[in-house]
Amino acid sequence: MRIVIHHLGWLVAFGAVLQLSLTSWAAAEFFPLDQVRIGLRGTGKTVIRGTKIETFDFEVIDIVPEGGFDGGPMILARFSGPVVDFSDGIASGYSGSPVYIDGKLLGAVSTAIPYTDTHIGGITPIATMLDALPSRYVVDYSGNTVIPEPEIKRKLHFKGSLREAQQFNRQHAADGEMAAVALSAPLVISGATPHFVETLREKFRDNPFVDVLPGTMIGGQRPAGLLHNPAGERPLQPGDAIAVSLVSGDIDISAIGTVTYVDDRGQILAFGHPFLLSGSTSMPVGKAYITYTYKSSDRAFKSGYRINTVGAITQDRLGALGGLLGEVPDTIPLSVRINDIDFGRSREFKVSIIRDPDFFDFLVSSVVGEACMRVTGSSKGGTIRLEFTMDGVGLKEPIKRTNYYYDTSFPVGLLWDEALPLASLLANNIYRKVKLTDFQITVDFTRNRVNSSIDDAKLLLPGEEEKAEAKAETAKPEEAQSAESEQSEDKAEEQPSSPDGGSEGEEAPAAPGTSVFPQQWVQQQVTPSMPQMPPAQPPYSLPKIPKTVHQGDTLRVIVRLQPYREDRVMKTVYVPLPEDFPLGPTSIIIHGGGSLVSVLNEFGGRGRMLMGGGKFVQVDSGIHDLDEIIEKALETPLNNEVVVAIPRPAQPPQQGGVSTGRGGAGSQGDDAGEKPEPEFHVSVPTDWVIYNQQVIPINVIPKAGERAKRSPEASGSDKQATPAGEKQGSG
């Protein structure tokens, strides 16, 4: 059969469609657009219950030359018949319903006129939709960020939301002009909780092509239904209801629409409008079971679920969705296991997620959040152990990391601080392509508050006595309580340490039997350049005077932890300061490890972005290798660790134009060798999620005997930088 498409003189953009249609598409004959006249009647196909294709009637009202989603033509029509009356007008989910005149395909139902006559809507011409066929040359819309706003010359105006269309129609009803909106695709979620539905509704609030249905109307993905006969299934054909999936598997998120066209090569067209406007894509598509088509004062809609997978949508264009039957969707497999420690419940969810960079992070966190909600039955706070593994083409080895979190609301949302930054880094890094092929997440959840505050910290220099409070770390419970009672009595009589009793810049050791945490001691950093504060009277605090430490010293830091409603615990952390650590004033910062986007580690605010989106991980500018970046990320201290960090003092440039950089003398950037870490740190694991921080100011001077070797001319700069040529600290 020879297929001919005639087109109007002003439809220059569709010239290529004519030549293509004459040679390739033998599955259906197309009705010529230039033969469309007011009053022409035809029939359409759609599913309103189960999987049975029903027919309805329509009558052409007019053609709006620039009323389409791509600025092309839109056919205005009135729809009628028992099928349309069933929902009191055309409904969301009719998108893509094919319409025919004299058995020839005219196009697909795609728009509605809200808050007016619900039986009037728009038809996207088949010529517009053909651009979405996988075998067609497709214009690259990837540089566009918004849908082109057509310049309407007649009485149909396309609006992005129901509210805009309603306002326009009220203002211009007397002028004979109307505003239309896309019918939209109902987004259905299998067995979703109300929390999940609201999350999705917020995400798609600004998408005019998607409606997130109320949670009470959403069914699960089940190959059943009173009107479904699996034995009688037939190949996909025009008029069938379909579901295009963002997530498929144990949790399913799919958009409901209708098939417009199927050719003899297995190519399909559907919807008559975009979905996500993602251009080239890969989304699972299957036949949908329609549980019911609902009337609504807002806009009628179909509800249903996907019952199988028959192929993949590969094009998401302005005029339609295009795909291939039998095509295997290219998705990311995600396995999520949730363990409810308190009640002994456990369940694993296996899903596949589309590779869309604009939706991947959101969909992963939504799936994990929904899985956690279904197992624990709660969105309240608690403590979680989060473990994830990623593998893929382009990775040297699988990535695995475990971290711990406490949150007062919904701790699973902290995926955005841990797993998703790494996934985003892999997908968007500038060094090489990495394609995820496996993603596994395990969440152990307890409603207990398993966290601890860093209440205090004290630096003990070599020779200073360790007091009873520090010994409580290894003492028996009875001994610890006794020591704590004695220390509380001592604190009432204790006075601030005097700097006069110690060596240069040091405090005098506390007298035996006194607490290492004086009541007046505060965590305020003071550098030698700051003016000295006048003596303060109780209850005010004195500023902390920096202690003097030597290169190569092993610093002993006593950290007081206060677990939630438990006895306090003392931790002793030994910090071997490198012998080549830069000289000058700095601080000891005691904090919890945090996550990959914590402000207290290398990935939280320093360096340059490695991702096009610029959403997450920042990496030190001295790293230029993806494997090294990944390795450094995995070494980031965890939330259950006490981290004692000492930032390297800022070093002034030396004479001769050689900058000392952040790491000390002799640094000449990347050409001078490996840059030292911006800080030196030691991490100690604990049984709690750690929060809060303490700061102890210090001043680093040369190790014993070094200053005697320095020349008088160099003595002025010795306090600020190590000599050029010395080995840099590794951190």
Among residues of the chain, what percentage have pLDDT more than 70? Answer: 65
Q: Could you give the CA distance from residue 406 to residue 689 in angstroms, rounded to a whole number?
A: 7
Return the structure tokens found at 104: 């020839």
Which among 185, 186, 189, 258 is positioned nearest to 221, based on CA atoms? 189
The rounded Cα 594 to chain-centroid distance in angstroms is: 18
pLDDT-based confidence at 211, cuts 50/70/90?
Answer: confident
pLDDT tens-place string over residues 269-307: 999 999 998 999 999 999 999 999 988 877 789 988 898
In degrees, rounded to 5, the angle at the alpha carbon of residue 70 between the alpha carbons of residues 65 and 74 is 35
Residue 17 has pLDDT above 70, yes or no: no
CB burial readout 575-613, b (16+ within 10 A) else e: bebbbbbbbbbbbbbbbbbbbbbbebbbbbeebeebbee
The rounded Cα 56 to chain-centroid distance in angstroms is: 43
Query: For position 299, what pLDDT does the model report?
Result: 77
Exposed, middle or buried by CB within 10 Å (0-12, 13-18, 19+), for 632?
middle
* 466 and 458 Cβ atoms separated by less than 8 Å: no
Q: What is the DSSP string of 537-566?
A: -TTS-PPPPPEEEETT-EEEEEEEEEETTS
pLDDT-based confidence at 408, cuts 50/70/90?
Answer: confident
Exposed, middle or buried by CB within 10 Å (0-12, 13-18, 19+), for 153?
exposed
Compare 449 and 480 and report the one with higher pLDDT: 449
Q: Could you give the CA distance from residue 124 to residue 683 in angstroms, rounded to a whole number?
A: 63
Distances (CA, A) of 359 to 48, 96, 246, 645: 30, 24, 9, 37
Compare 512 and 578 and report the one with higher pLDDT: 578
> Which of 170-179, 199-208, 523-532, 628-637 has the lowest average pLDDT?
523-532
pLDDT-based confidence at 437, cuts 50/70/90?
Answer: very high
Q: Could you give the CA distance from residue 541 to residue 535 in angstroms, rounded to a whole number?
A: 9
pLDDT-based confidence at 634, cuts 50/70/90?
Answer: confident
Q: Could you give the CA distance from residue 284 to residue 323 in angstroms, rounded to a whole number?
A: 9
Query: For position 358, what pLDDT does the model report?
Result: 85
Residue 164 has pLDDT above 90, yes or no: no
φ/ψ of residue 54, rounded to 5: -110, 165
pLDDT tens-place string over residues 98-147: 999 999 999 999 988 766 788 999 999 999 999 899 886 445 545 554 53
Strand partners, 608: 619
Q: Could you give the CA distance from residue 547 to residue 130 in angstroms, rounded to a whole number?
A: 76
Query: Dihedral of the CA atoms 616, 620, 626, 632 (nearest 10)?
Result: -90
Q: In the block, which residue shows the tokens 């050791």?
A: 509
pLDDT-based confidence at 417, cuts 50/70/90?
Answer: confident
* 311 and 325 Cβ atoms separated by less than 8 Å: yes
Return the structure tokens found at 190: 């299998």
User: Stretch 255-260: mean pLDDT, rounded?
Assistant: 96
Residue 704 has pLDDT above 90, yes or no: no
> Which of 44-48, 457-461, 606-610 has the lowest average pLDDT?
606-610
Query: Dihedral of the CA atoms 588, 590, 593, 594 (nearest 10)?
Result: -100
- DSSP type of residue 478: H
- Helix ranges, 87-183 (H): 126-129, 162-172
Compare 10 and 327 and report the one with higher pLDDT: 327
* 412 and 193 Cβ atoms separated by less than 8 Å: no
User: Stretch 153-173: mean pLDDT, rounded?
Assistant: 51
What global pTM score does this model have?
A: 0.73
Residue 90 has pLDDT above 80, yes or no: yes
Residue 176 has pLDDT above 60, yes or no: no
User: Stretch 677-683: mean pLDDT, rounded?
Assistant: 82
User: Stretch 207-233: mean pLDDT, rounded?
Assistant: 66
Most confident listed range (420-424, 506-510, 637-641, 675-679): 637-641
Query: For position 165, what pLDDT does the model report?
Result: 54
In degrees, rounded to 5, the angle at the alpha carbon of residue 400 between the alpha carbons of residues 399 and 402 is 150
Q: Could you give the CA distance from residue 374 to residue 401 in angstroms, rounded to a whole number?
A: 24
Query: For position 321, what pLDDT does the model report?
Result: 96
* 692 and 455 Cβ atoms separated by less than 8 Å: yes
Query: For position 418, what pLDDT does the model report?
Result: 83
Q: In 263-414, which ranges are E strands? A: 267-270, 279-294, 301-306, 311-316, 321-325, 331-340, 345-354, 382-393, 399-407
In degrees, rounded to 5, the angle at the alpha carbon of residue 212 between the alpha carbons of residues 164 and 236 is 110
Q: How many helices (H) and strands (E) does the chain have?
A: 12, 33
Q: Could you give the CA distance from residue 269 to residue 217 in angstroms, rounded to a whole number?
A: 27
Query: For position 146, what pLDDT does the model report?
Result: 52
CB burial readout 452-483, b (16+ within 10 A) else e: bbbebbbbbbeebeebbbbebbebeeeebeeb
* 456 and 690 Cβ atoms separated by less than 8 Å: no
pLDDT-based confidence at 677, cuts 50/70/90?
Answer: low
* 302 and 95 Cβ atoms separated by less than 8 Å: no
Q: CB within 8 A of 298, min separation 6: which ones?
A: 114, 162
pLDDT tens-place string over residues 635-661: 888 889 999 999 988 766 555 444 443
pLDDT-based confidence at 430, cuts 50/70/90?
Answer: confident
pLDDT tens-place string over residues 364-402: 988 998 899 889 988 788 899 999 999 999 999 999 999
pLDDT tens-place string over residues 579-605: 999 999 999 999 988 777 654 444 433
pLDDT-based confidence at 467, cuts 50/70/90?
Answer: low
Compare 653 and 316 and report the one with higher pLDDT: 316
Residue 44 has pLDDT above 90, yes or no: yes
Query: For position 726, what pLDDT does the model report?
Result: 36
Cβ neighbours, 10 Å, residue 270: 33
Break the chain into its structural domains and give their ranges: 12-194+207-325, 331-446, 451-486+523-594+638-649+674-718
Which among 87, 1, 18 is positioned nearest to 47, based on CA atoms? 87
3-state secondary structure labels for all residues of 133-145: CCCCCCCCCCCCC
Query: For position 223, what pLDDT does the model report?
Result: 55
* 577 and 584 Cβ atoms separated by less than 8 Å: no
Which among 117, 113, 122 is positioned nearest to 70, based on CA atoms? 122
pLDDT-based confidence at 182, cuts 50/70/90?
Answer: low
Residue 208 has pLDDT above 90, yes or no: no
Residue 261 has pLDDT above 80, yes or no: yes
Strands 54-64 and 435-446 turn out to be unpaired
Average pLDDT, the chain: 75
Compare 509 and 649 and report the one with higher pLDDT: 649
Q: Could you give the CA distance from residue 491 to residue 501 in angstroms, rounded to a whole number?
A: 20
Most confident listed range (353-362, 384-393, 421-430): 384-393
Residue 465 has pLDDT above 90, yes or no: no
Return the structure tokens found at 544: 């902390």
User: Stretch 516-540: mean pLDDT, rounded?
Assistant: 37
User: Stretch 325-350: mean pLDDT, rounded?
Assistant: 96
Q: Could you give the CA distance from residue 319 to residue 272 in angstroms, rounded to a whole number?
A: 5
pLDDT-based confidence at 494, cuts 50/70/90?
Answer: very low
Query: For position 175, what pLDDT does the model report?
Result: 54
Which among 38, 34, 47, 28 is positioned nearest to 102, based on CA atoms? 28
The one-letter code for the residue type at 730 is S
User: Stretch 24-47: mean pLDDT, rounded?
Assistant: 86
User: Stretch 616-623: mean pLDDT, rounded?
Assistant: 58
User: Stretch 445-467: mean pLDDT, rounded?
Assistant: 85
Query: For position 381, what pLDDT does the model report?
Result: 83
